[in-house]
């Protein structure tokens, strides 16, 4: 296992790259679906009402997240029993199948109602695999990280997502430069999905080079699915508090990435190129702040950052968007989104590693993945649809800021609740060990 746990900087960088590669594909596919929601709507959900068509597409986008909790439990239990490496290979394969389904599926004009149904199934398969991808990657990184550097290492789980955002945004800019709007709507939107399929063999090759983590290999007991479920049920309050913390991350992330192109084009009336450029800048900003704040959390602790940035998000989310929609411009959109990016990256850089630390070791992948998946399924994944509905229902274009503030309140509550729950869990474990001691 030396090449996995070696303190060598080159070895560490290579291992981080290998393990996060599949996470890149997972987020790339999700971002592409959000970026081309309008074109996908016309292909698979045609109708006389453009808003209704778009909402059906965004709901399909969100439906993929509903499968995440199921994937978290089933695939998370597989990872906790059979190993991090095997589980990460399995999730990559399932994600590739879902992506291929969307890339090659004929439209409504060819297949009728079968087309949107099959697209929905492709999204559900993607969601099932993604339910444990984030958890599996985060746990792997936390278990190979040198002492005192877990925050920095685990931050690259989210960092790989930002590389996917940057890549997808660059591809969007290129397509809008080479093709006219009609061509993108008719067939050009499929190109990013096809590219995603083409890089799958490379991702399989590099992920197969992973070795099992030493922490998992040295554990004598690997729980069965029943034991994993029993442990998760016993620690339901810990999972729920973790879910509240993740709500802040997942809502803010999907708002500033997946929803930004739609918000820029349909609400602020920006051009496609302007919206994609802002999204590109957000990805770069996120990629900078995540490892910086992950490393800072190694020095100052996780909780101070979590408390500070949830409070900042509560205080500034709506005012910033209110300022933007009352003076819409490209520069204002960029400034507003970069501020939200700073808040997201600073919070998430501390949150993800903290969640891997508080989950019980024997069900770490399942507990983390379930908390993450529940938050994404119930809140984050539907953020583009919720934001669009709130704007449509109230007429207030700044309403996404209210939704983001509510998400930040959830994160603040989870941060305050989780520490006493962890103390209760550890006290209970010590009591159980004392009773069973011969």
pLDDT digits (tens, 9 = 90+) for 124-177: 888 887 777 777 778 778 878 888 888 898 888 888 888 888 888 788 888 888
Q: Which pLDDT value is given to residue 213?
A: 64
Q: Which pLDDT value is given to residue 3?
A: 41
Q: Which pLDDT value is given to residue 1?
A: 38
Cβ–Cβ < 8 Å for 349, 253? no
Q: Which pLDDT value is given to residue 113?
A: 81
Answer left, alpha or beta for residue 122, where phi above 0 means left and psi between -120 and 50 means alpha. Answer: alpha
Give the right CATH number for 11-211+221-436 from 1.10.760.10, 1.20.1250.20, 1.10.150.120, 3.30.1360.40: 1.20.1250.20
pLDDT band at 316 (very low <50, low <70, confident <90, very high): very high
What value does the mean pLDDT of the chain take?
A: 82
pLDDT band at 221 (very low <50, low <70, confident <90, very high): low
Nearest to residue 15, comparing CAs of 295, 216, 211? 211
The Cα–Cα gap between 294 and 101 comes to: 36
The Cα–Cα gap between 131 and 153 comes to: 21
pLDDT band at 432 (very low <50, low <70, confident <90, very high): low
Q: State mean pLDDT over 275-280.
A: 84
Q: Which pLDDT value is given to residue 219?
A: 64
The Cα–Cα gap between 425 and 222 comes to: 20
pTM (2 decimals)?
Answer: 0.79
pLDDT band at 403 (very low <50, low <70, confident <90, very high): very high
Could you give the C-alpha distances from 319 to 253, 316, 325, 399, 429, in angstroms and in order? 18, 5, 10, 10, 46
């Amino acid at each position: 296992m030396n090449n996995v746990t070696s303190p060598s900087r080159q070895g560490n960088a290579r291992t981080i790259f290998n393990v996060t590669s599949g996470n890149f594909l997972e987020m790339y596919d999700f971002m592409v679906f959000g970026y081309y929601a309008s074109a996908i709507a016309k292909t698979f959900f045609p109708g006389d009402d453009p808003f209704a068509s778009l909402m059906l597409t965004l709901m399909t986008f969100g439906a993929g997240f509903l499968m995440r909790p199921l994937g978290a439990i089933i695939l998370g239990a597989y990872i906790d029993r059979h190993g991090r490496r095997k589980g990460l290979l399995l999730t990559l394969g399932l994600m590739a199948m879902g992506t291929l389904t969307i890339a090659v599926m004929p439209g409504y004009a060819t297949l009728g109602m079968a087309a949107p149904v099959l697209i929905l199934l492709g999204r559900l398969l993607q969601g099932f695999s993604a339910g444990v991808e984030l958890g599996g990657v985060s746990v792997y990184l936390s278990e190979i990280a040198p002492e005192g550097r877990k925050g920095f290492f685990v931050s690259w789980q989210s960092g790989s997502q930002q590389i996917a955002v940057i890549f997808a945004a660059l591809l969007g800019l290129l397509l809008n430069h080479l093709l006219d709007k009609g061509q993108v709507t008719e067939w050009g939107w499929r190109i990013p999905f096809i590219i995603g399929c083409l890089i799958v063999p490379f991702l399989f090759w590099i992920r197969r080079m992973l070795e099992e983590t030493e922490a998992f290999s040295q554990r004598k007991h690997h729980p069965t699915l029943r034991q994993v479920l029993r442990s998760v049920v016993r620690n339901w309050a810990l999972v729920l508090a973790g879910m509240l913390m993740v709500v802040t991350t997942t809502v803010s992330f999907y708002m500033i990435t997946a929803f930004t192109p739609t918000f820029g084009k349909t609400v602020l009336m920006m051009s496609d190129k302007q919206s994609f450029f802002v999204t590109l800048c957000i990805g770069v900003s996120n990629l900078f702040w995540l490892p910086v704040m992950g490393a800072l959390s190694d020095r100052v602790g996780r909780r101070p950052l979590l408390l500070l940035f949830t409070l900042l998000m509560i205080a500034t989310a709506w005012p910033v968007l209110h300022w933007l929609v009352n003076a819409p411009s490209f520069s204002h959109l960029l400034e507003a989104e970069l501020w939200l990016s700073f808040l997201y990256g600073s919070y998430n850089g501390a949150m993800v590693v903290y969640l891997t630390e508080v989950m019980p070791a024997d069900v770490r992948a399942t507990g983390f993945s379930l908390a993450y998946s529940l938050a994404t399924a119930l809140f984050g994944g539907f953020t583009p649809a919720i934001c669009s509905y709130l704007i449509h229902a109230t007429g207030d274009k700044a309403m996404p800021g209210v939704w983001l503030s509510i998400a930040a309140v959830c994160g603040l509550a989870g941060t305050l609740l989780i520490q006493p729950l962890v103390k209760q869990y550890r006290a209970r474990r010590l009591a159980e060990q004392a009773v069973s001691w011969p």
